[in-house]
Amino acid sequence: ILNVEQSPQSLHVQEGDSTNFTCSFPSSNFYALHWYRWETAKSPEALFVMTLNGDEKKKGRISATLNTKEGYSYLYIKGSQPEDSATYLCAFITRGGKLIFGQGTELSVKP
Amino acid sequence: DVKVTQSSRYLVKRTGEKVFLECVQDMDHENMFWYRQDPGLGLRLIYFSYDVKMKEKGDIPEGYSVSREKKERFSLILESASTNQTSMYLCASSLRETEAFFGQGTRLTVV
């Protein structure tokens, strides 16, 4: 079983705080890493698809980095807003496209 | 817009019943997935299909089977439903190693 670990499991921050989460994955047989955002009562939606060591992706206030040699990725949110409250999932992708998810980080941003 | 549609949002079944969860995607994706989501455990892969009639077990296949007779449809079958299969079930599809698109989820209760 491939082990994909996310930390922390949950996070409670105030509006305006910056925050970051970690995703750890096997460094061997790496093909791609995805980050998803899952809001309550909605379906998970992709934030980033990352494939190369050293990749950095950005979408508004959210950014992600990737280190395939040591097997980790960070997701950063700058100036958290209440609408950022969601569960953030990372997924390790094998060659062929099988997606193995971590257990997620549940973020709650209080106004 | 990519659409992944699951046949039911909510389902209540009796212990021992045979249960079918259906998923249809309209984007000609090769890959389709069935996950279950339980609190604190993230998305756990039940089965993965990479082509018609081709399937691969995920991390928790026990008690489940799948069927993919047509590219657009992926069915999850609970041969004899049990109370420990009460959960949220999510279907997803993807084009090889690119981002996955999810259905709206089926909340199954087995009584």
Cβ-defined contact of A9 to B43 (cutoff 8 Å): no
Q: What digits encode the pLDDT tens for the residues A5-18?
A: 999 999 999 999 99
Q: What is the pLDDT of residue B78?
A: 97
Length in residues, chain B: 111
Contact B100 A95 (CB under 8 A): no
Number of C-beta neighbours around residue B5 at 10 A: 13
Q: Looking at the complex, does the CB of residue A81 fall below 8 Å from at least one CB of chain B?
A: no
Q: Is A95 on the interface with B (CB under 8 A)?
A: yes
Confidence of residue B96 (pLDDT cuts 50, 70, 90): confident
Q: Are B106 and B92 in contact (CB under 8 A)?
A: no
Cβ distance of B99 and A96 shorter than 8 Å: no
pLDDT grade for B2, boundaries at 50, 70 and 90: low
Per-residue pLDDT of B56-75, as tens digits, reads 999 999 999 999 999 999 99
The pair phi, psi for residue A82, each rounded to 5°, is: -55, -35
Express each pLDDT in A46-95 by its tens digit: 999 999 988 999 999 999 999 999 999 999 999 999 999 999 999 999 88
Contacts of A103 in chain B (CB under 8 A): 40-42
